[in-house]
Every structure is written in C-alpha cells, then in structure tokens.
C-alpha cells in the first residue's frame, strides 16, 4: 500500500494516477505487467521520478480506466523531464527508505571499493540501470531481496 501522506505532496497528475491505482486495487506489479515495464520503473514514474512516454499514458488510460478527457490534463504533467529526488528529505524519515539510506551509509565505501577492485576506476550508472525486488522465504524467515544492476562506466583519461 502506498504512503498516502506522501502522495498528497505529489503534483495533481501523479496523485490522480495513485487514486486510480488504489481504486482499481492494482499493485505496481499488475500495472507493470500490463504496460510491459518493470515494477520498479512504474513505481518510480508514479512518484514523478521517471517520465511516462505517450504509449505508457495510453496504456494507463486503459488499465486504470481513466477518463480520456481527464488524461489530457494529466498527460503533459507526467510526460516531462523529471527533477529526480528533489522532493525527498535527507536523511529520510520513512523507516523503509531510511534503512536503504543506512545501507549506503554503512556499506557505501565497501561497495565502492569492491566495484573498483573488480572493474577498475569508475562508477555504477544509475541511468543505465535496472532494479528488482523479490520476496524470499526460508527457515529463518521472510527476506527482502533487492537487485541493483547498473552499467559500469569507467572514468576516462583526457
């Protein structure tokens, strides 16, 4: 379930998409499957961090049964160049988002060093990037598995 208090801080077009999603009782996975996109990308787009292409908007009209006349108002607002992550507090107050932030604080230099050892001097792209969230259950409990896949970009000498 989406954090309704945060949704109210989003632009009206994104709020309208969330309200339609909630009314249809769809998960991001449901919408992603119907759009042919990844679950994480769709969620990021709903939060305004990725722009929907016109084909996505057309798909959302059908999937969420949005009135085609109201989509004319929504379309320009969600098909834009986003100002990514500008709306987020640092450090985040939401416990789940804070834990992800904490992972980077605790393991960030370890990740960076291992990337350098395995790939050389460079960075992992957050642009040429995919992610996936899975649920794993074993005898020790239920686990969240987050896979981050970013293209390695070596620094160039010039």
Which positions are annotated as active-site residues? Answer: 99, 102, 125
- CA dist list (Å): 108 to 92, 98, 102, 104: 17, 14, 9, 4
Compute how many other C-beta atoms are within 10 angstroms of the C-beta atom of residue 83. Answer: 9
- Cα distances (Å, whole numbers) of residue 39 to 28, 87, 95, 102: 5, 21, 21, 23
118 phi/psi in degrees, rounded to 5:
-85, -30
């Amino acid at each position: 379930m989406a954090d309704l208090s945060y949704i109210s801080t989003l632009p009206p077009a994104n709020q309208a998409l969330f309200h339609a999603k909630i009314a249809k009782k769809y998960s991001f996975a449901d919408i992603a499957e119907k759009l042919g996109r990844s679950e994480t990308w769709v969620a990021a787009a709903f939060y305004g961090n990725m722009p929907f292409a016109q084909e996505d908007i057309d798909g959302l009209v059908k999937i969420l049964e949005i009135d085609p006349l109201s989509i004319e108002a929504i379309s320009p607002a969600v098909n834009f160049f986003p100002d990514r992550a500008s709306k987020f507090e640092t450090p985040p107050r939401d416990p789940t988002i804070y834990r992800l932030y904490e992972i980077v604080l605790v393991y960030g230099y370890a990740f960076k060093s291992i990337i350098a050892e395995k790939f050389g001097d460079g960075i992992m792209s957050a642009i040429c990037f995919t992610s996936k969230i899975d649920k794993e259950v074993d005898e020790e409990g239920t686990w969240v598995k987050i896979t981050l896949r970013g293209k390695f970009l070596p620094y160039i000498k010039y």
